[in-house]
């Protein structure tokens, strides 16, 4: 189980790094989203085995931390899943939703202003405006200077 999770983390991290290095803003956004999921999966993989082996050699899934202390009240983590990684992942998911919303708003605003989401197609205008908008601003600036 841990090996499968580790492979998923590696594949997700590799794909996210590939997307982060792209020249398209949509790819960069997708890479940012995926690297957050890879970090969450890596925390889950490091949290330990989800199975418990008792004295008779029987293996069962560990209990959720909200249902009690399990079979051994003296050592609850032996039969119960560690709740700290789950709390960290839940916090990370909430933060990543906020980052995703902000990043998508920036991409939409960039697409509206520049007319493209490809970094190679951006013009060299330091204001970062669409050429028609830049001409309009230059005309207004020249009219203001002449009056």
Catalogue all structural domains in the chain, each as residue range(s) with its CATH number: 1-51+78-123 (1.10.287.3510)
Q: What is the mean pLDDT of each run of 10 residues along the chain (147 residues)?
A: 86 95 92 93 84 81 71 70 87 93 92 84 62 69 75
109 contacts 115 by C-beta, under 8 angstroms: no
Residue 35 is predicted with a pLDDT of: 94
pTM for this model (two decimals): 0.67
Residue 72 is predicted with a pLDDT of: 67
Which runs of consecutive H residues, i.e. helices, occur in the chain?
A: 2-20, 25-46, 76-79, 83-114, 131-146
């Amino acid at each position: 189980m841990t090996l499968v999770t580790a492979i998923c983390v590696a594949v997700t991290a590799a794909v996210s790094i590939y997307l982060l290095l792209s020249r398209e803003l949509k790819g960069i956004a997708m890479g940012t989203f995926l690297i957050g999921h890879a970090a969450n999966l890596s925390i889950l993989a490091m949290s330990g085995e989800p199975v418990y082996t008792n004295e008779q050699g029987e293996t069962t899934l560990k209990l959720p931390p909200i249902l009690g202390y399990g079979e051994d009240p003296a050592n609850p983590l032996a039969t119960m899943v560690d709740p700290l990684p789950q709390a960290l992942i839940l916090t990370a998911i909430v933060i990543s939703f906020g980052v995703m919303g902000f990043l998508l708003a920036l991409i939409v605003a960039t697409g509206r202003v520049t007319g493209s989401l490809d970094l190679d197609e951006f013009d060299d205008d330091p204001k970062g405006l669409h050429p028609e908008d830049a001409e309009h601003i230059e005309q207004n600036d020249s009219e203001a200077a002449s009056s």
